[in-house]
Amino acid sequence: MSTSPQQLMDAYRDDVLRRGIDVIRTEAEALGKLGDSLDRAFVLACEAILAGRGRVVVTGMGKSGHVGRKIAATLAATGTPAIYIHPAEAAHGDLGMLVSDDLLLVLSNSGNTAELRAILDYALQIGVKIVGIASRRESLVIERADVGIVLPPHREACPVNIAPTTSTTMQLALGDALAMALMDMRGFSRDSMKQLHPGGAIGLRLTAVGEIMHVGEKLPLVPLEMPMKEVIVIISARGFGIAGVVDSAGRLVGVITDGDLRRHFEDLTTATASDVMTPSPKTLSVDILAEDALDFLNRTKITCAFVIEPDAPVNPQAPVGIVHIHDFLRIGLG
């Protein structure tokens, strides 16, 4: 029985899928070995970086260099000043970018990359501490390093065991591990992260609700005794589809939504705000992050919430703002 073109195509696609799965599993297995292999050298590397008075200067050649650029960027973005220097360019003048207060972080799979020799020699000459990451303990990088982290034995995911794949995945993961451990050691907070990420998706996620909420005369607030026909006018005029009901002390005691209006439709001509409101409304804290606030609105299935300042010395239950789910979409979150 002959094989149809469609069966051949299906078999080909199955082979492609199996190959993709095999690569990912190979690299995942290597990452598991890397986690199991970490020892005191990792701690010493973190302590050396933390004690440094200058920057972390990352270097590496080829694919290790590409990983090094990412590691330098991650370190810098998480509170550890870092730059990347290309080792070949270093030998042609860029060694001047490395100064005695810096720490040199060197990446090399073999540990014997010839282009690294110049920057390693110069670091030793000016007294720069070196953290080396390589797969061979008996190698130039590990022998020159003050702290050497040796990657566990591994096979590249490449079918001929040549193209850097598993090795660079381990380097990248180890760089992330260093950056995250240093974040903890520095006490690097969300506020610190916000300072370094004022723009882009991360900046939006770290924006506090207090920075995007509507305030002042835009707040649809009504007293308990206000007739509902006047409440409806305020709801329509403010455009949030909600009114907050406050007591004589200015505390938020309830809200009136479209659902409340429908439930009390027959009584609206004679009712007051206190008759129609839903008591104990859900609120947001003024310092909650936009990402968490949007998640709260989605989880509670509401489109709008009043914002309070729970740490206010006077009347912490007084509404200081209001946010609508459209506000998050407007700034590009969601």
- Mean predicted confidence (pLDDT) in 19-39: 97
Q: What pLDDT digit, counting tens, does each position of 207-223 carry?
A: 889 989 999 999 999 99
Instruction: Give percent above pLDDT 90 in the chain.
Output: 82
User: Residue 322 in contact with residue 306, Cβ under 8 Å?
Assistant: yes
What distance in Å separates the CA atoms of residue 133 and residue 167, rounded to the nearest whole number? 11
Instruction: Point out the least confidently predicted range of 77-91, 165-179, 189-203, 215-229.
Output: 189-203
Q: pLDDT value at position 242?
A: 96
User: Residue 296 in contact with residue 330, Cβ under 8 Å?
Assistant: no
Angle at 271 between CA 268 and CA 276, to 5 degrees: 85
Q: pLDDT value at position 203?
A: 72
Q: Measuring CA to CA, how many Å separate 162 from each of 87, 290, 293?
A: 22, 46, 48
> pLDDT-derived band of residue 121, with 50, 70 and 90 as boundaries?
very high
> pLDDT-derived band of residue 58, with 50, 70 and 90 as boundaries?
very high
What distance in Å separates the CA atoms of residue 116 and residue 35, rounded to the nearest whole number? 27
Which letter does DSSP use for residue 289 in this model? B
User: Within a 13 Å sphere around the CA of 95, how many CA atoms are in the beta-carbon half?
Assistant: 17
What's at 242, amino acid-wise? I
Q: Measuring CA to CA, how many Å separate 139 from each of 36, 110, 237, 256?
A: 22, 7, 74, 72
Three-state SS string over 210-279 comes to HHCCECHHHCCEEECCCEHHHHHHHHHHHCCCEEEEECCCCCEEEEEEHHHHHHCHHHCCCCEHHHHCEE
What distance in Å separates the CA atoms of residue 78 and residue 197, rounded to the nearest whole number? 10
